[in-house]
Amino acid sequence: MADDRKEEIQRAFDAAAADFTALGRHLWEPIGAATAAAARLRPGDRVFDACCGTGASAIPAARQVGADGVVDAVDMSGPMVAELRRLSAGLPQLRAHEADVTEWEAEAYDAVLCGLGIFFFPDMTAGTDRLIRLARPGGRVALTVWRDGAMQLAGRYLGRAVAAVTNTPPAKEREPHLLDRINQVDSYADWLTGRGLVDVEVVAHELRLAMTPELAWLVIIGSGFRRGLAGLDADTVEAVRRQYLDLLRADGVTELDTTTLIGSGTTGSAQEQ
Ligand SMILES: C[S@@+](CC[C@H](N)C(=O)[O-])C[C@H]1O[C@@H](n2cnc3c(N)ncnc32)[C@H](O)[C@@H]1O
């Protein structure tokens, strides 16, 4: 993966790990449980959980495959993996690894999961194709992305708060990304079908977070938005927090859309591959 961007993403998630767990029960866990459910796992299955974070989908997957199954849960952030090891201590079938999933070599998993990770790949299509090839012919794949508009308000208000506090121009809107074109049920289903999956289903997993001051800030420090605070000292971060909450309050923002698209399908038969 391109080194600068990879390091930036890794640093953000390294810093976010403990707060990521705190945000988990509000956000990551319901989405992860729905991602694991879409893979229709059976006892004894071998599962690859890519970009596992602190285990939102890996932990329910490990429960579903049981003691005879295996879940290889992989994330490039060491602190995230350490947190997952702590949270999954009673599930020996869950093996947590610190690695870049786009370089993972093992193959022939019964199922491949990736919750909210594929859009971080430097080439989302090539990285996803590579993940899909880790599943055996006829294996299940479940890949979750944000639906159009999800999470955006939090990022926008954080950007305004950082600009106001640091007296700098507002950060530029991010570069256009493939996800912007496939963040609806139909376009995402078409894209997954183009990846060679059959019987593709995409379900919008509706979720809204109440933007209480605690949760509104946890969304920033317990997610990839943490990148927006990189390089700021503790006093400046505290000033940003207050400004962000003031701006949300002034505009009457009480809710954050965090809806995801849970896409799943089956890999083609051995002959088709
Ligand atoms: C938004 S979090 C999602 C974590 C988890 N799947 C969940 O749903 O809670 C994205 C995760 O992807 C990881 N990640 C991004 N690119 C990666 C890569 N190429 N290899 C391994 N992990 C990656 C980050 O470290 C981060 O933990």
Q: How far apart are CA 108 and CA 130, in angstroms?
A: 12
* pLDDT class of 272 with cuts at 50, 70, 90: very low
Contact 200, 268 (CB under 8 A): no
What is the reported pLDDT for 106? 82
Q: Whose CA is nearest to atom 20 of ligand 1?
A: 100
Q: What is the percentage of the chain residues whose pLDDT exceeds 90?
A: 86
What lines the ligand 1 site, CB under 6 Å?
Answer: 1, 9, 13, 28, 31-32, 51-53, 56-57, 74-77, 80, 100-102, 115-117, 120-121, 224
Q: Could you tell me whether strands 260-267 and 135-146 are parallel, antiparallel, or unpaired per DSSP bridges? A: antiparallel
pLDDT tens string 49-107: 999 999 999 999 999 999 999 999 999 999 999 999 999 999 999 999 999 999 999 87
Do 45 and 107 form a contact (C-beta atoms < 8 A)?
no
Segment 191-214 shows an average pLDDT of 98
Instruction: Compute the average pLDDT of residues 237-253.
Output: 98
Which band of pLDDT confidence, cut at 50, 70 and 90, is reported for residue 203? very high
What pLDDT score does 12 carry?
83
Q: What is the mean pLDDT of residues 114-126?
A: 97
What per-residue confidence (pLDDT) applies to 175? 83
Tell me: the pLDDT tens digits for 220-232?
999 999 989 999 9
255 Cβ partners below 8 Å, 6+ apart? 208, 209, 210, 211
Residue to probe by mutation, ligand 1, list 1, 4, 76, 144, most atoms within 8 Å of CB: 76
Q: What local confidence, expressed as pLDDT, does residue 158 receive?
A: 96
Residue 181 is given by DSSP the state G
pLDDT at 273: 41
Q: What was the pLDDT predicted at 88?
A: 97
Q: Report residue 112's pLDDT band, with 50, 70 and 90 as the boundaries.
A: very high
Segment 148-154 mean pLDDT: 96
What average pLDDT does range 118-138 have in this prediction? 97
* pLDDT at residue 271 in the model: 42
CA dihedral 204, 176, 32, 38 (to 10 degrees): 50
Check residue 2 and give its pLDDT.
Answer: 62
- pLDDT value at 1 more than 60: no
Q: Alpha-carbon distance 223 to 211, whole Å?
A: 15
Residues 6+ apart with CB under 8 A from 92: 67
| Cα 243 to averaged position of ligand 1 atoms, centre (Å) | 29
Q: Is the pLDDT of residue 270 over 70?
A: no
CA of 74 to the centre of ligand 1 (A): 8
Structural domains for the chain:
3-151+176-209+258-267 (3.40.50.150)
pLDDT in tens, 13-29: 888 888 999 999 999 99
